[in-house]
Amino acid sequence: GAGVSQSPSNKVTEKGKDVELRCDPISGHTALYWYRQSLGQGLEFLIYFQGNSAPDKSGLPSDRFSAERTGGSVSTLTIQRTQQEDSAVYLCASSYETGRETQYFGPGTRLLVL
Amino acid sequence: AQTVTQSQPEMSVQEAETVTLSCTYDTSESDYYLFWYKQPPSRQMILVIRQEAYKQQNATENRFSVNFQKAAKSFSLKISDSQLGDAAMYFCAYRRTSGTYKYIFGTGTRLKVLA
């Protein structure tokens, strides 16, 4: 595709349920990032995948959050036992792996935990 | 640890006028990238401009230009001839050029453009 895509665009769930958010990066991009943006706030780094290297998980807020990237392409961010404070927009971005490339963002998934 | 600070939560500018958004950062690295991203209400983050720290010349993209002061660790964005479509959240971001490619974002500045 032409850009980074994310699904669903909106997700409403009940407290305690698990959710999965999906990101399809730009074809050929080997680096993939997940961010969380709470209402009126900046972007909070969550996790970063770079090629076949071990991901940088330093931004995951708790062990309820996890992410995987299958086949070096599609990534899924999973939030287990969701809490109301997990409500936010989750943004995905991708870039080439060279380290001198700019990241490009998807439209985000807005998550609302009731 | 690197930090990025945007001290202006909100700014307003009259259409066709010029506005400058401020950004300061802290790092011990000598080579890095700085970015300005725009986020309109659609929430799609759009790259506005990028600056490489080893380049002394300020980056320019049409009506957008930066004032990069490396010694002062300052990276401001100037928008000339402001247009209604420029209204958005603007985020300043930092990234190292080696090691982890994690981006550090500021908290953003909301720009309002007045007709």
How high is the pLDDT of residue A41?
77
CA distance A94 to A106: 8
Q: Which amino acid is at A79?
A: I
3-class DSSP state for residue B43? coil
Average pLDDT rounded to a whole number, residues B94-108:
84
CA distance B38 to A52: 31
Encode pLDDT of A17-50 as tens digits: 999 999 999 998 888 999 999 887 788 999 999 8
The pLDDT-based confidence of A96 (bands split at 50, 70, 90) is confident
**Chain B interface test: which of A60, A92, A103 (most B C-beta within 10 Å):** A103
How high is the pLDDT of residue B42?
83
The pLDDT-based confidence of B97 (bands split at 50, 70, 90) is confident
Residue B98 is nearest to which of A41, A99, A102, comparing CB atoms? A99
Q: Dihedral of the CA atoms A104, B46, A65, B101 (nearest 10)? A: 50
Is the CB of A48 less than 8 angstroms away from the CB of B91?
Answer: no
Asked which of A19-28, A43-52, A64-73, B91-100 is least confident by mean pLDDT, the reply is: B91-100
**Chain B interface test: which of A102, A109, A111 (most B C-beta within 10 Å):** A102
Residue A100 is nearest to which of B42, B47, B97, comparing CB atoms? B97
B19 CA: distance to closest CA in chain A (Å): 21
pLDDT at A99 over 80: no
Average pLDDT rounded to a whole number, residues B16-20:
97
Is the CB of B107 less than 8 angstroms away from the CB of A108?
Answer: no
Encode pLDDT of A76-94 as tens digits: 999 999 999 999 999 999 9
Strand A19-24, strand A5-7: pairing: antiparallel
Q: Residue A114 to residues A35, A53, B10, B43: CA-CA distances in angstroms?
A: 21, 36, 30, 22
pLDDT at A1 over 60: no
The H or E element that residue B21 is part of is strand B19-21
Question: Could you tell me if B115 and B84 are in contact, meaning their C-beta atoms sit under 8 angstroms apart?
Answer: yes
- Chain A residues close to B50, C-beta within 8 Å: 102
Could you list the beta-strand ranges (E) of A3-113.
5-7, 10-13, 19-24, 31-37, 43-50, 65-69, 75-79, 88-95, 104-105, 109-113
How high is the pLDDT of residue A12?
97
CA distance A77 to A79: 7
CA distance A54 to A79: 20
3-class DSSP state for residue B20? strand
How high is the pLDDT of residue B96?
84
Average pLDDT rounded to a whole number, residues B78-104:
90
Residue A43 is nearest to which of B42, B91, B100, comparing CB atoms? B91
Token digits of residue B114: 């007045």
pLDDT at B60 over 60: yes
Is the CB of A91 less than 8 angstroms away from the CB of B97?
Answer: no
Q: Is A94 on the interface with B (CB under 8 A)?
A: no
Q: Residue A101 to residues A46, A93, A94, B82: CA-CA distances in angstroms?
A: 19, 12, 10, 28
Q: Which of A64, A28, A24, A71 is nearest to A46 (CA)?
A: A64
